[in-house]
Structure 1
Amino acid sequence: MLIDLHTHTMHKSYDSAQSLEELIIEAKSLQLDAICLTEHDEFWNIERLVEISRYYEFLVLPGSEVNTDNGHFLTFGLEKYVFGMHKVSYLKDLVEDASGVLIGAHPYRRNYVNQRATDIPAMEMQISKTAHKEAYQICDALEVFNGRSDVEETRFSLKLSEYLGKPQVAGSDSHKPGDLGNVATRFHRRIRNLEDLIEELKAGRFTPIVIN
């Protein structure tokens, strides 16, 4: 199954310019099998998304993109914002209590100053510095392909995940019509609901892919 793990809508993300309906219609046209709504510090009601999935005959799953002191992290399994989530260690505790998953989103942000492609030592130094941050050591996976990143930022994310030995995922980070369809995560087994998604993420049965 081909799933976009990182999307936003105008309903719950201040910087998005697309409705949920627009997002679903575009995802279906691109032959994605599901999308995850990861609004900024906001959460969709899971029962509501079950209803929406039935109405559109397309799987829409809940998550959130939480802003922390150490960057943005995708969460799956949490249902509401709790004061203190901006501390990654506390966020990780909440995720574990909920038997959920924590993923480092676009890890190059706040961590990588784009260098010339030939300046390998500078990148390696920044990778090492980032890898020693607790936030990236305790997350379950890293988003290595983000639809809004450039080649060097993607290379940083890939090398960071390899340095840490973390599983790799991909998400478009869609905020407006036209953002979908460049990257996604291919799951090796069928995903029917949030529980399935979390199980497969924990099991590592997925591959990040670049679509175009």
Structure 2
Amino acid sequence: MNIDLHTHGKLSKKSAFSPAYFAEMMSEAKVNGLQAAALTEHFNTSNFFAMYEALDQMYPYNGHYYDVDGLKLFPGMEVDIAETGHILLIGLKENVLAVRSLLEDYTAQCSFIPFKRLLDLADEFNLWKIGAHPFRTSTPLHQLDPQLLKRLDAFDFNAKDIYVQGAEAYKNLITPFAEKLGVPVVAGSDSHQCLQYGSVINRLHVSCSTVEELKEAIKQGDYEMELSPCLHTKVKASVMMKKLLKQLAGEVPSRDEAEIGYLA
């Protein structure tokens, strides 16, 4: 089963959830060979709960994933922590929403939740914990307490960082770091725009229907990560399109978008 473990359902935090835009994203994901994806939208995006309410109206949910016209979509979110960094949490929809409700007082940059507290919450609600883009300049994780980092279930081999830093250079950073902590590495496209799907893929040797099965397959090393030979073009085109769409909507490009645009 081919799965992308870091994807977004909206163009940006400020944009409204668009069923048509989301359907186009999922269609492009399937065209790029995906059978599954984790929806890890930012926890402090505008109208987070409304996004899941819309999905409930659009697609059947079987207790583990949404069936998006044959693609398995596992619920999740991306959470900022006080020490700087992002954590992907993936699991049952009711558990994702419950933890999001408990994070209501932590949505502003001045009041993000401490790393340990988030780990404790994730464990309490049985959520899969992935350290997002641990070597990204703007939101690094690698400098944090190793004892806390060891509690993560995986680290994110992120398409945007591969684009910025180069595949070999980024692999040489994340591989020894993750191995020293005893934590596996998984691929995530970090797609906000449909052109980025397929830039990186996890090819599981088994088909999984629950997050527990996914977690176990990764833990057992029953997968490979595959980078598209078109990764550079996919990420560059996606980020440029995202920047254009945000500018048309009156939004300012993010620091990461500006950095990628500069390198492009």
Normalised by the shorter chain, which TM-score bucket?
0.7 to 0.9
Q: Which of 40, 51, 54 is the matching residue for 2:60?
A: 51
Q: Which residue number corresponds to residue 10 of structure 1? A: 10
Give the 3 Å change call, closer, same or farther, for CA 194–12 of structure 1 in structure 2. Answer: farther
- Choose the corresponding residue for 1:181, options 198, 201, 210: 198
Matched, 1:100 2:134: no
Pick the aligned partner of 2:26 from 24, 28, 31.
24
Residues 112/13 of structure 1: CA separation in 2 closer, same or farther (3 Å cut): closer
Distance 1:30 1:16 in 2: 25
Query: For residue 87 of structure 1, what is the aligned residue in structure 2?
Result: 114
Cα deviation per residue 1:45-83 (whole Å; 9 max; x = unaligned)? 498285174451221111111111230011112422123
- What amino acid is the match of 1:184? I
Provide the secondary structure at the position in 2 that maps to 1:191.
coil
| Structure 1 residue 202, shift from structure 2 partner | 4.8
Deviations 1:73-114 (A, max 9, x none): 11112422123572221111111112221110100024899x
**Equivalent of 1:39 in 25, 38, 41:** 41
Whole-angstrom CA distance in 2 between matches of 1:50 and 1:199: 26
Matching residue of 1:210: 227
TM-score of the aligned structures, taking structure 1 as reference length: 0.77
Asked if structure 2 preserves the Cα contact closer than 8 Å seen for 1:131 and 1:137, the reply is no
Matching of residue 148 in structure 1 with residue 140 in structure 2:
no
Identical columns (%)? 30
SS of residue matched to 1:62: strand
Q: 1:132 to 1:96 in 2, by over 3 A?
A: closer
Structure 1 unaligned spans of 5+ = 114-125
TM-score (norm 2): 0.63
User: Equivalent residue for 2:237?
Assistant: none
Backbone CA RMSD of aligned residues: 3.2
